[in-house]
Amino acid sequence: MADQPYRKFVVVGGGTAGWIAAATLIQALKGKVGEVELIESDEIGTVGVGEATIPPIQFLNGLLGIDEFDFIKKTQATFKLGIQFRDWGKLGDQYFHPFGPYGEPFEGVGFHHYWLRLRAQGEGGSLDDYAMATVTARMGKFAVPPKELPPGVPGLGYAYHFDAGLYAKYLRAYAEARGVKRTEGKIAKVELRPEDGFVSGLTLADGRRVEGDFFVDCSGFRGLLIEQALEAGFEDWSHWLPCDRALAVPCESVSPMTPYTRATARAGGWQWRIPLQHRIGNGHVYCSSFISDDEAAATLLANLDGKPQADPRPLRFTAGRRKKSWSKNVVALGLAGGFMEPLESTSIHLVQTGAMRLLSLLPFGGYDPAAELEYNRLTQIEYEQIRDFIILHYHATERTDSPLWNHCRTMAIPDSLAHKIELFRNRAKIARFDDQLFAEPSWLAVFLGQGIAPRDYDHLADVPDYAVVASRLRGVGQKIAGIASGLPSHDAFIAATCKADPLAS
């Protein structure tokens, strides 16, 4: 029955999503509260486009007790200080979304308001000069930051670029060593209990049956359990995010390895560039209503750093989310739960937060409708907030050179995003919501980077003497430049601490 205790957890599908789910479950259960089984088939490929991450992944690695440098070596990883955006606001423009703040607030007022005060007088330089991550990335430098930096110097956040296939392999070894049972096989049938519609078990193609109390659907876009069996429904966001296809291709690595991801806007979409130790990951996300597959492939292949190492691999998708990520005794993670293009490297993060949310709400004593409702409420909020941030990149543009950009520039946007834009444009204030992933510096980077200039600032920034403010900002910029210039190059840091072994050919 629905109220029976949860002791057997079954993860459907491998890849990054499946093995994150299995690893977090087994780490939490520690083999004492329940058992974990993962079903996957080597015959079914994984998408694995999300090779770039954001700083919260450090929390996941810490929770699992993963050694940072070992993880980097095993996944051919590099470090990531942010994302460089090219040609988004208009052709020829570029800006940087840093991992970390711009300066530090003082006297209870955000740093950027003081900068806007100076800028109104033709002083203050570029806001980028006050972000540790931006200055360090610009110099091609990196080092794991100390726990404490000099007063007034903002923190240096970082994440990773890694090979998603090697990451899944790494997590599989971790999970199996702690007791996760891996079952090879294709699922032929999802069995539902007739009395309540809960999933009771899975029949594999060879006739074997796998029973479970709770199931985690990591089966990819098809949503084998959450959609095909339980019909949770899908909320389509393609009217705001029209890109529906991608081509992915690796190319030869070039030196030096940049400590950031690059996203370059193209006529029919955008192209990613993700530097790894052994190669560069590239992809072209595009809208099939505006350019053909052949045009997209030609654009991608014409803009690689080195020789391609494979033929472009096609992917098709629809932006949106499941209307219910948790239904009955099934939670969907990864592509089974929804999809948003990897413009801000959120794919793996959504798996991570979904798994953490599940652990915090999982009712071990049996089904709890309140837990299901709360999980779905929080998941909806998270997806919608990330959705708005991605839409901002497309909508805040002056580009008129192609049908895609004309569509995105003039389209209606969600009220929640329109409110954020108007508040920033009027007063340089950034509306914040509970537990929002992208903090003030992230919105600030994209607003300013794509040409949304505030008409005014918080005039509490006028209270300190102008000379004091100017001196303080000048000192912050000088400290940041001095610290960054003293760091090793990104390549040198990796070579000294976490260089990966060459992959077997």
Strand pairing class (330-332; 326-327):
antiparallel
- Could you give phi then psi for residue 185, rounded to 5 degrees? 160, 160
Reading across the β-sheet that carries 94-98, which strands appear in turn? 94-98, 82-86, 261-266, 269-275, 280-286, 245-251, 313-316
Q: Which candidate, 128, 140, 83, places its Cα nearest to that of 103? A: 128
Catalytic position from the list 80, 324, 328, 420: 80
- Please state, in angstroms and rounded to a whole number, the distance separating the CA atoms of residues 241 and 351: 20
- Please state, in angstroms and rounded to a whole number, the distance separating the CA atoms of residues 452 and 475: 27
3-state secondary structure of 332: strand
- Could you give phi then psi for residue 269, rounded to 5 degrees? 170, -130
Pair of tokens at residue 212:
């479970």
- Could you give phi then psi for residue 63, rounded to 5 degrees? -60, -40
On whether the CB atoms of residues 280 and 254 are closer than 8 A, the answer is: yes
- Please state, in angstroms and rounded to a whole number, the distance separating the CA atoms of residues 465 and 130: 20
Q: Which residues pair with 173 in a beta bridge?
A: none
Q: Considering all CA atoms of the chain, what is the largest pairwise distance in Å, rounded to the nearest integer?
A: 78
Query: Is residue 30 among the annotated active site residues?
Result: no
On whether the CB atoms of residues 69 and 244 are closer than 8 A, the answer is: no
Other C-beta atoms within 10 Å of 147: how many? 5
- Please state, in angstroms and rounded to a whole number, the distance separating the CA atoms of residues 299 and 313: 14
- Please state, in angstroms and rounded to a whole number, the distance separating the CA atoms of residues 111 and 119: 13
Q: Which residue numbers are catalytic?
A: 80
